[in-house]
Amino acid sequence: MPREIAIYGVLVPGLLPLFLGCLLLMLLVDALIGRYGLHRYVWHPPLFRLALFACLFGLAGLLLLN
Amino acid sequence: MPVASTKTGLAARRWPVLAEAFAGEGRAWLFVFKTLLALYLAAWLAMWLRLEQPATAMITVGIVMHPHTGMVQAKGFYRAIGTLCGSTFGLVLLCVFPQQRVLFLLCLSLWVALCAGGATLYRNFMAYGFVLAGYTAAIVSLPAVGNPLGVFDSALMRVSEVMLGIVVAGVVSDLVFPDRLRLVLRQSAREHFAHFIDFVRGSTGGGIPREEMEQAHLRFVRAAVQLENLRASVIFEDPEVRARSTRMRLLNQHNMAAATSFQSLHHLINRLQREGRHAEVAALIALYHPIGAALTTAPEDLHDPAVLTPRLRDCAQRLPALEAELRAGLAPGRPQLAFETGATVLRRFLDELCGYAELELALRAHVQRGGVERVHFQRGNDASGAAVAVLRTFLTMTALSAFWIASGWTFGASAMLLATIFSGLFAATPNPLASAFTMLLGYVFGMLGGIVTAFWLLPGSDGFVMLIAATLPLLIIGPWLNAHPEFGSLGGGYAIGIVYILALKNPMVYDPALALNEAIAQLAGVALAAVSFVFVPRVTGSGWQRRRQFRRLREQVVQAASAPLDGLSWRFESVSRDLFHQAIVHTRPGSRQSRELLAWALAVHESGRALIELRQQLYASPVQTDVRAAVDRAIAAVAQLYRHPDPARRQQAEDRVREAIGACAAVPALRPRLYQLLGALRDDESPLATWMSAEEPAHAT
């Protein structure tokens, strides 16, 4: 994946679409978590979600852009 | 925390005055800590990312941080949308009118005014989205006015700063000692369920006095609207609530429908009782009795839907046999029709109650299975308040623009920007004139604090830690004031004022002349936004708007009589409650207006629901054309009555309904609904009663 994407001549960092994609993925994960009540097994749900997002985003960035 | 509690216990014994002074301070200091953390984090990140104006990110944090920390997350979503819309609009505006200052300022004023209107119209956290849409458009376009070629870079910077501020505020308030709104939601939903079940169980004796009914109605409406407000916020905070969202909406709708049916039933029993028709009353109470018995369980299961649901289902199965038995005991004709009416309403009520208990049971399970019908809680928004806010903000902004153009003021952009922010913020406050001037005062103090910090404390400090040390003492006052509701909007003004004048940058720029000029311009902007409330006062909560809402509440019956049937009953239940709730919060409890409103609300609920049921039944059953025409005439007459209530129309509506009952002799399914409508029109405790002729004509059935 290119590091920078040109949208109508404007250079956008390749991380931006990855970020948005990860947000969408998080919505999906959240829906699953909510439906099956998995947050009961987690100490601090918001922290868990943020950490999960950081993992997803970091993984996607390292795998696709590196 | 045993250690901490012993310590506070000791302190309380030694210095009772101190303990009293610091009661409740814990939460306030927690909020102060979170806000400062978010502020400095935003500043540090903005400097680290080499953004142009870290101050913009800090101001955004100041605007969006809120003592009710659970709400911050909820608003983040709408804020992000508002920011994107606002920045796009600002960019487009500057690209379209780079050389046309009049058109540019006119369009910008209009945009900001529309955003302020939106903030007034949507009374929940969506208001923040509108505030930020206006604010970002101004913040993107105004600083670039002198240099249109640099607008894109400037827009990118501003959007990055605003977004950074939003994200930091959201993350900090979610992670650091979060205040879970979800627990409040669950608590109030369970309390509401328990209250409702108790109320239904407690009234098996039959008649409930009108007074008690009105109070119960008020309580239930309040609970329904509050639950919906909470639900709409918590879905952003918690994925579990998001997964339950559709079910919770349906739960609320079932509850509202059940409450309306319950009231209709008791109105009917009360009317029969007052008319002295004891046989019918006794039969209906006997029919009602099994429901009360089904709800009476062992004390620990009284509010447990897992126990109540099968009992209610069982009761619903046994009801038809009991109904036939009781009907056989009554004389044919009028008594049987009255009983049939009551039994129809009772069946409906029991069905809705079962649905309510089942949904509550499903919601308490850890895992949500299957899908349910999608319903919406429709709001009865009144556009008049929003229109006035649009007008006011537009006048403020055009006045400032005209002054800017005429005087060639170098700092006009700052004044415009501040007027934008505060117009949006004021539009959403409950008592804007007073809070506007408090906020102005806070702004002045904030600016003084900013000047002292920037020119006495900050110079000579080195590194980020020293920056925190130098700015903290005066910066801390803003969030502390914000955390104390008794200071009103003083804190909001202070927090924005100090951050704005401080204008932290890396490297820092010290220019006293610029700071003073900025201060004067900003003060002018805030002051004009405040003064505009003197010229165009706010209408929300005024007698005029209350009368409008009152009329719209009555017109809900017209809607029930004429709108398309699809989803109408859900819409009717929620809009009429929302309108009623909006109007009632601005009346004094027990005052004449409040009582009148309540009485009309009950009448509207009963008639509207009866009309909807009648129309659904009419749609479903095959009837002859003349019967259909008679029923349609009756429906139209009732709608006319509620559109313009007067004695002649009431009499006409009653006559038409009687004719329809006569015409429907061959259609037994329609007669109970018509009879219920007739009862609602003839209810001697409803507001329509004042116009009622005393004697009842002989051709009653």
Mutation target vs B (from A7, A16, A30, A35; most B CBs, 10 A cutoff): A35
Does A31 contact B at CB distance below 8 Å?
yes
Does A55 contact B at CB distance below 8 Å?
no
The yes-or-no verdict on residue B603 having pLDDT over 90 is no
- Determine, for residues B175 and A37 on separate chains, whether the beta-carbon distance falls below 8 Å: no
Q: Hey, what are B186's tokens?
A: 């669950």
How much is the average pLDDT of B249-270?
Answer: 86
- Determine, for residues B175 and A50 on separate chains, whether the beta-carbon distance falls below 8 Å: yes
- Determine, for residues A50 and B240 on separate chains, whether the beta-carbon distance falls below 8 Å: no
Q: What is the pLDDT of residue B386?
A: 81
B507 upstream amide cis, omega within 30 of 0:
yes
Please name the residue of chain A whose CA is at the shortest distance from the CA of residue B367.
Answer: A36
A44 CB neighbours in chain B (<8 A) are: 175
Supply the DSSP symbol for B367.
S
Does A2 contact B at CB distance below 8 Å?
no
| Out of B18-27, B174-183, B358-367, least confident range | B18-27
Residue B506's nearest CA partner among B568, B461, B473, B551 is: B461
B368 CB neighbours in chain A (<8 A) are: 34-35, 37
CB atoms closer than 10 angstroms to residue B260: 28
The yes-or-no verdict on residue B506 having pLDDT over 60 is yes
Residue B689's nearest CA partner among B662, B656, B654 is: B654
Q: Hey, what are B535's tokens?
A: 């010229």
d(CA B436, CA B422) in angstroms, rounded, equals 8
B174 CB neighbours in chain A (<8 A) are: 46, 50
Domain count, chain A: 1
CA distance B299 to chain A (A): 29
| Out of B126-130, B340-344, B555-559, B652-656, least confident range | B126-130
| Out of A3-12, B156-165, B496-505, least confident range | A3-12
Does A4 contact B at CB distance below 8 Å?
no
Does A58 contact B at CB distance below 8 Å?
no
Q: Which residue has the higher pLDDT, B545 or B522?
A: B522
**Which pLDDT band holds residue B377 (cuts at 50, 70, 90)?**
confident
A12 lies in which domain range?
4-65
Provide the CB-side half-sphere exposure for B90 (13 A, CA).
32
pLDDT averaged over chain B?
A: 82
B175 CB neighbours in chain A (<8 A) are: 44, 46-47, 50
Q: Hey, what are A12's tokens?
A: 């956008």
Query: What number is the ipTM of this complex?
Result: 0.85
Please name the residue of chain B whose CA is at the shortest distance from the CA of residue A12.
Answer: B156
Q: CATH fold of B181-364, please?
A: Methane Monooxygenase Hydroxylase; Chain G, domain 1 (1.20.58)
Which residues of B touch chain A, with CB atoms under 8 Å apart? 152, 171, 174-175, 178, 238-244, 366-368
Residue percentage of chain A with pLDDT more than 70: 100
The yes-or-no verdict on residue B701 having pLDDT over 50 is no
Q: Which residue has the higher pLDDT, B371 or B154?
A: B154
Q: How do residues B385-402 score in pLDDT, each as one tens digit?
A: 788 888 888 998 898 889
Please name the residue of chain A whose CA is at the shortest distance from the CA of residue B239.
Answer: A34
- Determine contact, residues B237/B68, Cβ cutoff 8 Å: no
Please name the residue of chain A whose CA is at the shortest distance from the CA of residue B170.
Answer: A46
Q: Which residue has the higher pLDDT, B697 or B664?
A: B664
How much is the average pLDDT of B306-319?
Answer: 86
Q: What is the pLDDT of residue A56?
A: 93
Q: What is the pLDDT of residue B388?
A: 84
Residues present in chain B in total? 701
Mutation target vs A (from B34, B160, B240; most A CBs, 10 A cutoff): B240
**Which pLDDT band holds residue B71 (cuts at 50, 70, 90)?**
low
Q: What is the pLDDT of residue B178?
A: 74
| Out of B92-106, B420-434, B442-456, B569-583, least confident range | B420-434
Q: What is the pLDDT of residue A25?
A: 92
Residue percentage of chain B with pLDDT more than 90: 5
Q: What is the pLDDT of residue B448?
A: 92
Please name the residue of chain B whose CA is at the shortest distance from the CA of residue A51.
Answer: B175
d(CA B323, CA B332) in angstroms, rounded, equals 14
**Which pLDDT band holds residue B39 (cuts at 50, 70, 90)?**
very high
CA distance A63 to chain B (A): 24
The yes-or-no verdict on residue A59 having pLDDT over 90 is yes
**Which pLDDT band holds residue B428 (cuts at 50, 70, 90)?**
low
Q: What is the pLDDT of residue B697?
A: 43
Q: What is the pLDDT of residue B128?
A: 77
Residue B173's nearest CA partner among B494, B591, B479 is: B479
- Determine, for residues A37 and B367 on separate chains, whether the beta-carbon distance falls below 8 Å: yes
- Determine contact, residues B77/B163, Cβ cutoff 8 Å: no
- Determine, for residues B175 and A34 on separate chains, whether the beta-carbon distance falls below 8 Å: no
In degrees, to the nearest 5, what angle opens at C-alpha B140 toward C-alphas B136 and B146? 150
Q: What is the pLDDT of residue B6?
A: 46
A8 CB neighbours in chain B (<8 A) are: none
How much is the average pLDDT of B56-75?
Answer: 74
d(CA B550, CA B555) in angstroms, rounded, equals 9
**Which pLDDT band holds residue B41 (cuts at 50, 70, 90)?**
very high
- Determine, for residues B239 and A39 on separate chains, whether the beta-carbon distance falls below 8 Å: yes
Supply the DSSP symbol for B587.
S
A52 CB neighbours in chain B (<8 A) are: none
Residues 6+ apart with CB under 8 A from B17: none
How much is the average pLDDT of B569-575?
Answer: 84
Q: What is the pLDDT of residue B342?
A: 87
- Determine, for residues A34 and B366 on separate chains, whether the beta-carbon distance falls below 8 Å: no
Q: What is the pLDDT of residue B444?
A: 92
d(CA B195, CA B414) in angstroms, rounded, equals 53
How much is the average pLDDT of B513-535?
Answer: 87
**Which pLDDT band holds residue A4 (cuts at 50, 70, 90)?**
confident
Tally C-beta pairs within 8 A across A and B. 38
Q: What is the pLDDT of residue B699?
A: 42
Please name the residue of chain B whose CA is at the shortest distance from the CA of residue A28.
Answer: B239
A46 CB neighbours in chain B (<8 A) are: 174-175, 178
Does A36 contact B at CB distance below 8 Å?
yes
The yes-or-no verdict on residue B340 having pLDDT over 60 is yes
Q: What is the pLDDT of residue B202?
A: 77
φ and ψ of A13, to 5 deg: -60, 140
d(CA B636, CA A33) in angstroms, rounded, equals 51
The yes-or-no verdict on residue B69 having pLDDT over 70 is no
CB atoms closer than 10 angstroms to residue B459: 10
Q: How do residues B96-116 score in pLDDT, each as one tens digit?
A: 887 888 888 899 999 989 988
The yes-or-no verdict on residue B700 having pLDDT over 50 is no
Does A20 contact B at CB distance below 8 Å?
no
d(CA B502, CA B608) in angstroms, rounded, equals 59
Amino acid sitting at position B162: V
Q: What is the pLDDT of residue B5?
A: 45
**Which pLDDT band holds residue B75 (cuts at 50, 70, 90)?**
low
CA distance A66 to chain B (A): 21
Q: What is the pLDDT of residue B140?
A: 85
Q: What is the pLDDT of residue A8?
A: 82
How much is the average pLDDT of B176-186?
Answer: 78
The yes-or-no verdict on residue B660 having pLDDT over 80 is yes
Q: Give the start-to-end residue ranges of the domains of chain B.
A: 2-179+381-535, 181-364, 543-691
Q: Hey, what are B179's tokens?
A: 């205040």
- Determine, for residues B240 and A33 on separate chains, whether the beta-carbon distance falls below 8 Å: yes
- Determine, for residues B366 and A37 on separate chains, whether the beta-carbon distance falls below 8 Å: yes
Q: Hey, what are B302's tokens?
A: 């009284």
Q: How do residues B7-35 score in pLDDT, each as one tens digit?
A: 445 555 666 666 666 666 777 888 889 89
Does A39 contact B at CB distance below 8 Å?
yes
B178 CB neighbours in chain A (<8 A) are: 46
